[in-house]
Structure 1
Amino acid sequence: MFGRRWSLLTGLRSATPIVRLLVLTQLAFNAGFFMVLPYLSVHLTEDLGLRAAFVGLILGLRTFSQQGLFFIGGSLADRWGVKPVVAAGCVCRILGFTGLAFAGSVPAIVVATLLTGFAGALFSPAVESALATAAGSAEHGGRSRKDAFALFAVCGQVGSFTGPLLGSLLLVADFSVACLVAAGIFVVLLVVHLRLLPARRGPHATDGWLDGWREVVANRTFLLFAVAMSSQLLGYNQLYLLLPLELERAWGSQAPLGWYFALASAFFVIAQLPITRRVRTITALPVGLTVTATAFVVMALLSPRQLHGVPALIPPAAFVLLLALGQMITVPIARDLVPRIAAERRLGAYYGLLSSIGGLVVLVGSALTGFLIDLLPAGTRWGLATPWCAVALALFASALVLSRQLRSYGSAPVG
């Protein structure tokens, strides 16, 4: 459809060895992770008999131990180097998944769940900073930084899509089997990275902790950028809040939800690389946020019509495709822009704080969205439209902020 130059395999072949290792790492990370996590809540409630409220608390702790601690993991990568931090993350996830396979008590479940989350806080910012450095210094013929992050996103989507499918097959045997296979994937990753990932001293090994944190937090340009970009993450997370509620209302169940996730993943795999190749300047960043906001405008206009049956499935499909399109435009550019704002320093801490701020905004924003849902009657036009409008306004505001902030870069190329 797009020719050989747009294919995933072509992208992998043209990447430098270290970039190829890092993007395939993301695929394997996501595949192993999503083999287990989508099925954890059912295992805890039905197999172990825990109350739903307590399961929600456990899952919240997992999210905090990962998203909330990205800044710590990134700072460790700056000090110790990428290789030991990625290795430590793999060890934590091996222990976490093995613990979930055999845990029969609440303390053991909590410890295992926290380990799986903290593992992500260790290796995710480390891998992103390593990818930014490797792509930024790639020799001619390799991937640009923008293209490398696009390839990174595609591989992540492949892993996110295949992981649950593999997990569902393994669940035929037992949940513990899925956990142990996922742990085995991370054992392989640990061995591969110990052998192939270059052992380089952290660029800020001799700096004090507070020195690094002060430098990052004092970068007001970055903080404004991170807060503005967090609206994109807030929007994307509505796949897990607003979209299921809309399907429940319109279809009578959340049964079609899996098909929408498959649609988004397929769209990512097919279109991410072509779209990234066509995005040539950083001015596309607010455009991508505007596209994402448009997805919510579509739902704000059509949800109050209270369609039912098959016609009701069309607006959510448009929502998912526009949401994915906005994500594909913005994420590679944003990841490419971080090292520029950071002056190529402390990339682990910068990428980590970007994710931590995003996680905090998602937590607060999703809570406020839920508050609006509870506050306004769902049977009224305003009640159905308001949550979608609220997220759209946040995205439009972020697009406006970024369009002003990026004026100093002019029409600078990305990549």
Structure 2
Amino acid sequence: MTEAAQQFDVAIVGGGMAGASLALMLAHFCPHLSVALLEQRGLPDASASLRLPSFDTRATAIAAGSLQLFQQLGLWSALREYCAPIQCIQVSDRGHSFGASLSAREQEQASFEGMLGAVIENAALGPILHRAVADTQVRVLAPARVSRVRMGVAGAHLSWSADEQGQQNELTTGLLVVADGVGSPLCRQLGIEIDTIKYQQRALVTTVGLQRDHGGVAFERFTASGPMALLPLPQREGLHRAALVWACPDREAQALSKLPEDECLRRLQKNFGWRAGRFMRAGAVQGYPLSLSLAREQWRRNLVLVGNCAHFLHPVAGQGFNLTLRDCYALAQALVGEKPEQGSGVQLERLRTYGRKRSFDQQLTVGFSDRIPALFTSANPTQQVMRQMGLLGLTLVPPLRAEFVSQAAGFGL
């Protein structure tokens, strides 16, 4: 069989964290399926040693349920040394007395190895996922730029090349999975409409040095300008570190990103407060506009969307990647035992069942991520009372606290 005529049961377009995670799950749970992973950019050498920045870095919060899934996939031993555990989550509303503290010790049923979750730098997570994929039977095509997709009753036909001027190769697949991110070119080509709500905010992302050890505490701090998350990072070069994400109005974000480090630190400290001690250092401030993007269709016959092209959330609760992992797991489980005959696509009922099962979790998570920032930045007295009652309820009502932690940890479904 020539390269131009290759056939696969599943082809995933997009080799980022979503696509790589799904490829691993398919290799683990559905080894009978032939899988191709196409990534537009070339992937790093899997044998190269990891070189992580000591300070300026991006990180991802991984819930306990997601860590348990990574353990099933055999990745936890590789991820562990690059993770900082989250053993406690403190939620507070700046300027008000009530707050909530959620600890792994109190919520053993929603924890993993004594953690509510962990924070890992993307510079480690991405390469570890790609190394694991390289050790499977998944066929990785990178760089591979998909120029055309034609859908049919038997699946999809893809035309791709290694670059814009390169020779066109052909690939057929029984199931096409689109995982090429926000603003997906394939979604546009396939006529899938995306509903977008622009928040008129930017997420400012930076790394801060702390005067004292964070002790495995993650902070969710709601300020008048927008929610701030302070997430523990592993200590490196003798420095206590944390990842800071602040969703604030566009104008304030643009002004802050231009400030010198000492003034930036002062502004960050003033808005966050002193619950984590003194901020000693700030890395480069990066920003990106915030929006909620939802695909109107996440599946069709022989087609599924996963990752940010399916749903791109406000980062307030750090649930975007965890929701994606739950989607990927559910899709892999839906395909267990599926072996399309040559020239036929995936059984439509399997995809219908997948979509039905994922609907509630997605609606709950998307709704929470969309409404909470507005509630906690509102100056409306009624909404201020409502949010304080909510925090008080998390503090005083154990069943409510347990349900909240279970959902946040990814064990709620």
TM-score of Structure 1 vs Structure 2, range by shorter chain = under 0.3
Query: Would you tell me which structure has more strand in proportion to its own residues?
Result: 2
Q: Which has the higher contact order (CA 8 A, sep 6+)?
A: 1
Query: Would you tell me which structure has more helix in proportion to its own residues?
Result: 1
TM norm structure 1: 0.26
Greater Rg over alpha carbons, structure: 2
TM norm structure 2: 0.26
